[in-house]
């Protein structure tokens, strides 16, 4: 199996244009037509039939996670889309009934990869779902924020780290400020979980109780215990500041059954992203919370992808 290493810089491409991703915006109907003409290639999601409340949505083939189109307006928007054969032909992406080679190849790669990344990003009211599929030296990606318009891209594996860096870019209009959570913490998993729950429910009294039960178990980057008096405030900020999340599911889809290798989770706090790394210690499950930049997603995923390739 080919090894994909995202932790080190890629060598310079032989040609600048060889390394540039090609991107095409497609409506749902255009995407479905391209997949049909590309030998009936399956897409990485299904469009579910409306629920009892009439709300349709996208559903991943991995993880069964629902998308953001959750109201009747979705049905009306899809019904109003232009005829896909006409629009693709007008754009030169369909000639004499034959789909552009690049489009057909990208959709084919989405259907027959070795590595699969299912990505779900939510920042305030905006949710984006993306599917990254890799095989040998090529990657194809598909992304949407509404289930109606999709961005399809394809590029060499050497460009993958840069593409992953786009995933966590924070919207320019999102207000950012200094965080009360330090750039590094290591604490018991149940404390971190309780902090998020307390932030959502307003039950800050729970944090006081749990902090008393886990004295000296919250440590800083140097491994020193955080003063007990500071811990409740840090935990409360961890829950209250959360304004977004990023989740990546990594799987080996080269054989049956599909093998899910791991998950990477980030949370968006007041000043930016934190990656959450669960790990085991003598005292049980703990989680490392560390500040990261969007460009670090590839490095954060590298150990998981290395497990896939091993």
DSSP string, 135-200: ETTEEEEEEESSSSEEEEEEEEGGGHHHHHHHHTPPPTTS-----SS-SEEEEEHHHHHHHHHHHH
Tokens 């320019």 -> residue = 172
Judgement on whether residues 79 and 194 belong to the same structural domain of the protein? no
Question: What pLDDT is stored for residue 72 in this prediction?
Answer: 64
Q: What pLDDT was estimated at residue 309?
A: 63
Residues 6+ positions from 152 with CB-CB distance below 8 Å: 23, 24, 25, 26, 31, 103, 106, 107, 140, 141, 142
What pLDDT sits at residue 10? Answer: 45
The answer to whether position 10 is within a domain reads no
Instruction: Identify whether residues 137 and 32 lie together within a single domain.
Output: yes
Out of 125, 140, 167, a domain closes at 167
Question: Is residue 146 within 8 Å of residue 224, measured between CB atoms?
Answer: no
Of 135, 167, 199, the last residue of a domain is: 167
Q: Is residue 6 part of a domain?
A: no
Verify that 125 and 233 share a domain, yes or no: no
Nearest-angstrom CA–CA distance, 8 and 297: 13
Domain shared by 159 and 218, yes or no: no
**Domain limit, last residue, from 138, 167, 196:** 167
What pLDDT score does 45 carry?
87
Q: Are residues 161 and 205 in the same domain?
A: no
User: What was the pLDDT predicted at 149?
Assistant: 93
Q: Are residues 54 and 158 in the same domain?
A: yes
- Phi, psi values for residue 48, rounded to 5°: -70, 150
CB 69 within 8 A of CB 148: yes
Q: Please give the chain's pLDDT, 310 residues, in tens.
A: 445 556 554 444 444 445 578 999 999 999 999 999 999 999 998 776 555 444 455 555 554 444 444 456 667 777 778 899 999 999 999 999 999 999 999 999 999 998 899 999 999 888 999 999 998 889 999 999 988 899 999 999 999 999 999 999 998 899 999 999 999 999 988 888 877 776 666 666 777 777 777 768 899 999 999 998 888 888 888 888 989 999 999 988 877 776 667 889 999 999 999 999 999 988 789 999 999 999 999 999 998 888 766 6
Instruction: Report the half-sphere exposure of 112 (CA within 13 A, side-chain side).
Output: 11
Instruction: Map residue 67 onto helix, strand or coil.
Output: coil
pLDDT at 2: 46
Domain count, the chain: 2
Asked if 120 and 218 sit in the same domain, the reply is no
What element of type H or E holds 244?
strand 244-252
Domain of 69? 20-167
The verdict on residue 251 lying in a domain is: yes
Question: 257 preceded by cis ω (within 30°)?
Answer: yes
CB 183 within 8 A of CB 309: no
298 and 213, same domain (yes or no): yes
Verify that 89 and 220 share a domain, yes or no: no
Are residue 106 and residue 219 in the same domain, yes or no? no
82 and 148 inside one domain: yes
Please choose, from the candidates 65, 212, 35, the residue with its C-alpha nearest in 3D space to the C-alpha of residue 140.
Answer: 35
């Amino acid at each position: 199996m080919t090894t994909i290493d995202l932790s080190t810089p890629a060598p310079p491409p032989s040609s600048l244009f060889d390394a540039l991703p090609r991107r095409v915006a497609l409506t749902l109907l255009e995407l479905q037509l391209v997949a049909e003409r590309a030998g009936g290639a399956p897409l990485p999601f299904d469009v579910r039939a409306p629920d009892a409340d009439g709300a349709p949505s996208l559903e991943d083939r991995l993880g069964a996670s629902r998308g953001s189109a959750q109201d009747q307006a979705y049905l009306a928007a899809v019904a109003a889309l232009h005829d896909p054969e006409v629009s693709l032909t007008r754009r030169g992406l369909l000639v004499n009934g034959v789909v552009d080679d690049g489009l057909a190849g990208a959709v084919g790669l989405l259907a027959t990869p070795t590595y699969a990344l299912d990505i779900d990003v939510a920042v305030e009211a905006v949710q984006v779902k993306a599917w990254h599929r890799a095989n040998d030296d090529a990657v194809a990606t598909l992304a949407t924020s509404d289930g109606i318009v999709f961005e399809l891209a394809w590029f060499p594996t050497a460009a993958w780290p840069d593409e992953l860096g786009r995933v966590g870019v924070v919207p320019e209009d999102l207000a950012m400020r200094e965080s009360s959570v330090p750039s590094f913490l290591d604490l018991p998993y149940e404390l971190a979980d309780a902090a998020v729950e307390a932030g959502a429910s307003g039950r800050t009294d729970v944090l006081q109780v749990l902090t008393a039960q886990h004295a000296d178990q919250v440590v800083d980057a140097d491994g020193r215990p955080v003063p007990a008096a500071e811990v409740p405030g840090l935990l409360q900020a961890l829950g209250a500041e959360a304004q977004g999340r990023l989740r990546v599911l990594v799987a080996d889809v080269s054989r049956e059954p599909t093998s899910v290798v791991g998950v990477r989770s980030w949370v968006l706090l007041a000043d930016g992203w934190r990656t959450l790394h669960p790990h085991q210690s003598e005292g049980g499950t703990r989680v490392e919370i560390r500040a990261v930049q969007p460009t670090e997603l590839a490095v954060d995923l590298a150990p998981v992808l290395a497990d896939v390739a091993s």
